[in-house]
Structure 1
Amino acid sequence: MYFAALLARTEDGWEASDTELDDVETLSDLTELAREASVDDDTVLVFIEQEDAWFGIVRVEGEDDPRIFVSDGAAAARSSYGEILTKELLGDELDDDTPDLDALDLDGTEDGEPAEDEDEEEETELAGETVPAEPLGDLMILDDLGMSEKYLLKLGTDALSDIADALGAAEVLEAVR
């Protein structure tokens, strides 16, 4: 099960909104969704969490390229929204002869649980790239907002509440949860 929310920084603090990812197919779609929530091109954080598996943060500021952090690359690569983020982080450009990953049967990965007869793998293949079971992306994504790289790396899979708390946005995030 996924949870996704947008946190937009305003003059009065953070504003949170629950967001629907049904129409998001690319990082560009996700970035555009964040820009629509922005007030005066200020910081918008997109939180995506797949229960007990991984979490991701996409930071959008104005027209700058989005900054991305994923807590576990291998776990994220096995899910539809995480795949969008890990492809971007790995610089993966799919060739025409690469199979469509959306068409593959991923055996229970959408709910974060491996198939009963399989052990969770340490790495995942994504279009020929090995995706490590470790954090990927911009480790300094929240540093200027008060959360250090060291603290970010210590967080578990249910980290979004801790992040919102560190940013002073816990109440507004919980209101949309």
Structure 2
Amino acid sequence: MRSEKEMMDLVLSLAEQDERIRIVTLEGSRANINIPKKNDLEFMEEVLIDDNMVFDIDNLKGFLNDTSSFGFIAKENNKIIGFAYCYTLLRPDGKTMFYLHSIGMLPNYQDKGYGSKLLSFIKEYSKEIGCSEMFLITDKGNPRACHVYEKLGGKNDYKDEIVYVYDYEKGDK
């Protein structure tokens, strides 16, 4: 069985070869994209744990092998401070949508504009790869996130929409 460090080294080596996994440096007024570095290992593991993911190299390989999956790691002053992961979805009309499934910042970096910078970068990236739109799902009970999404041009045109989740791991039928 591999140690956690060996697993993270393997994940990083896969990410270094895959343009869909990128470090986004959030210093100054611009976001810059870079290839992950070896010293990013510890936070990558922390992100997986904090996002309630089971850390398993086969799961991560599956994510990285799925060409519709994208990962972003936010970095400032050479410290990793946040992450996001996303997917492209092909519509029947041939257009591609970009779905932002999860975005998060470490607590000390929340409410300081870093999430906005990362989201702005992801929006531009999704346009650059040819997506016709980007969407995400959030809770009405999360006003901080809603404020960020609206500030960056996100619109909730469907005030009556409800998201239903069937969680098979929790025993839903």
TM-score norm. by structure 2 comes to 0.26
Structure with greater contact order relative to length (CA < 8 Å, sep ≥ 6)? 1
Structure label with greater radius of gyration: 2
More helix by share: 2
TM-score norm. by structure 1 comes to 0.25
